[in-house]
Structure 1
Amino acid sequence: MQSLMISCLASLISVFFIQFTLFVLALFLPTSSFFTLLPLTALLIVILVGLGRCCKRLVGVKACAPAFVFLSILFLWVVYISVIRRVTSYLMDIVFNIEIVMLIVGLYRIMLSDPGFVRCDSSYHEMPVRSPLNEDEAHIEELEPSTHPTQQESHAEEGLIVRRGRYCKYCDAYVNGFDHHCPAFGNCIGEKNHFFFVLLLIGFVISEASYVACASQFAARFQTIDEVKRVTSASRSLAISTMLFSLFQVLWQVVFIMWHVYCACFNIKTDEWINWKTYPEFQVQIISDAGLPQTDLQFKNPYDKGILRNLKEFLTAKG
């Protein structure tokens, strides 16, 4: 419990340090163009995250990534309520607050969701299982083949069913339809929660885009409001810094969503795409003209059933 509190405290410090740095950037470069500030924001975030990790390793502290995500959402919400809310319409205010609440609920749900863990007693932990390629074949590969068996037998008579199960070293378990372990959400993404994961990413994009719209509206009205002394330059800088932070999040999250949509369309998992050379079912040996096998391997996806069937399988996966 104490280690968890220390990790959450480290995340809290990281959030405030990043937001304060971006605030200083916006405060001292008030006349800079938006297209100048955005690349600087991205560069600063990358540098700060890297420095933060180095500092945490030096002091032996691990930050809690889900806490960082939650505190970042909370920080934006507080800034919205205390600064930006005054210039938004009544309808937009209601919509944005609902979006944030749903985002927090979704984050809580995915952290506690079952991604498709292979349920078995301890005697089965080292026992071979397999993941069917079709109705007659089966294979299983895990994230780090060097430390666990790579080809395993099925035990259907025990009721142990594994569908494209892979081993996650972080959760120390096999996961059906394993895509990746998401540190930001503190959970594996697998067969049972992959679709919800994509929906949650879309929710993040919509909420952050709404915040960008509200913050940009506040910044645009700043000059008029400032004339009657109702807001300070610090408020405008805070709105701009958080807007830049949110926009940076939107940009990489959109790319991430596009990647997962691509994976759904072609029925391939992130782990399988990265580590396909460790999974025999994705390997095809190239035969030379002389009929001799070459050392090079070619990728082939045995799970691809066509875009429509792949999407149907993705949308209806219940584990």
Structure 2
Amino acid sequence: MMFAQSDGRQEPLPCSSSIARCTVSCISVFLTQLALCAVPLFFTASPLLFQLPLSALLLLLVLGFGGWFRRLLGIHASAPAFVFFSIIFTWGVYIFIIRKAISRFMDIAFNAEVVILIIGLFRIMSKDPGFVVHQSSCSSNEVDDISVVGFEDQNEHRVRYCKSCRAYVKGFDHHCPAFGNCIGQSNHALFMVLLLGFLTTEASYIVCASQFTRQPLVLEGIQLEANPSAILAKSTMIFSVLQVLWQGLFLAWHVYCVCFNIRTDEWVNWKKYPEFQMSASSQSGENHVRMRFINPYDKGIVDNVKEFLTLNV
């Protein structure tokens, strides 16, 4: 069931709305994955380094056109449902096509990874990120004009207002559309583990798909390169490679943020927060004071990591 956040409480969306959004997301996944089949179909002899950027461009075009078409019709999709159905689609390709070329041990390991990944996805979608009840001193118009506003509670925990959830979140890092939830103090560790789980599962799928596509045998009298099953295996493998690339960069960025105790919203919007500003002495002839970024919460790499690993409920 899909949820909407309001004042720190998760409220279920109407059943009809949830079903409609999930249906649109499911259709979007099928269209996206089938569109990616065009790359290995028409560029079979091209190297992977050529197919990757071409697939990324095609993926952006399909997603962009799909978003424009949904806005034109006034229908909405669900990003978490899109992620879920993408996992199911890839898992289905593995079970019905790729599995025959994989060893028993690798088969058990990959299926276990997918099951754990799905459980983690539903867990982070429903887990409280650290909602707090706070009466904002800002008017509703002021809150709508910015993505987050914030304060510190009595325990010196950073609390930010999420415009997407319309709620205050303790230790707010960012709102993750893919998981349909805020990332805060209570689920930040789970978020990092889930990112690592996605990377591990997708890397395993790439290995399995590579073993299948490298088969020199003829399947049912048809060359492997011309087999629709092989084309589908290659397209999903390319999709997984693209996922590993951007998710790896995203995970590396978050590890950097943990080491230096920087929140995503603070890095991007630090000019909106007085605690991250320091007045710089103006040069001769200047009539204004320049501001520069400071991070008063940086306690050093070791202490920052210890603070991150210490879960304060």
| TM-score bucket (shorter structure) | 0.7 to 0.9
Poorly superposed stretches of 4+, deviation over 6 Å: 151-154
Deviations 1:146-192, CA, capped at 9 Å, x for gaps: 469967696x5xxxx67111100111110011010000000000111
Deviations 1:41-98, CA, capped at 9 Å, x for gaps: 1111111111111111111111100000000000000000000000000000000000
Q: Output aligned runs, 1:119-268, within 5 Å.
A: 120=133, 124-126=134-136, 146=145, 163-221=157-215, 223-226=216-219, 233-268=227-262
2:146 and 2:163 in contact (8 A); partners too: no
Name whichever of 89-98 and 56-65 sits farther off.
Answer: 56-65
Matched, 1:99 2:113: yes
Equivalent residue letter for 1:260? H
2:149 and 2:160 in contact (8 A); partners too: no
Deviations 1:222-242, CA, capped at 9 Å, x for gaps: x31437559661111011000
Q: SS at 1:32's partner residue?
A: coil
TM-score under structure 2 length normalisation: 0.88
1:10 and 1:63 in contact (8 A); partners too: yes
Mind listing any 5+ residue stretches in structure 2 that lack a counterpart?
1-14
Equivalent residue letter for 2:17? S
Matched, 1:300 2:310: no
Q: SS at 1:224's partner residue?
A: coil
Mind listing any 5+ residue stretches in structure 1 that lack a counterpart?
129-142
Match of 1:132 in 2: none
1:287 and 1:293 in contact (8 A); partners too: no
Distance in 1 between residues matched to 2:148 and 2:221, nearest whole Å: 71
CA 40–147 in structure 1, closer or farther in 2 if over 3 Å, else same = closer
Q: SS at 1:185's partner residue?
A: coil
Identity between Structure 1 and Structure 2 (%) = 51
1:286 and 1:293 in contact (8 A); partners too: no
Distance in 1 between residues matched to 2:36 and 2:136, nearest whole Å: 49
How many residues are paired up?
Answer: 295
Task: Give the one of 261, 267, 280 matched to 1:273.
Answer: 267
Q: SS at 1:166's partner residue?
A: strand
* C-alpha RMSD of matched pairs (Å): 2.4
Match of 2:308 in 1: 314
Distance in 1 between residues matched to 2:170 and 2:210, nearest whole Å: 43
Distance in 1 between residues matched to 2:145 and 2:236, nearest whole Å: 44
2:148 and 2:163 in contact (8 A); partners too: no
CA 302–81 in structure 1, closer or farther in 2 if over 3 Å, else same = same
Question: Offset of 1:126 from its aligned partner?
Answer: 3.1
1:162 and 1:176 in contact (8 A); partners too: no
Match of 2:5 in 1: none
TM-score under structure 1 length normalisation: 0.86
CA 125–11 in structure 1, closer or farther in 2 if over 3 Å, else same = same
2:282 and 2:290 in contact (8 A); partners too: no
Q: SS at 1:298's partner residue?
A: strand
Distance in 2 between residues matched to 1:149 and 1:98, nearest whole Å: 38
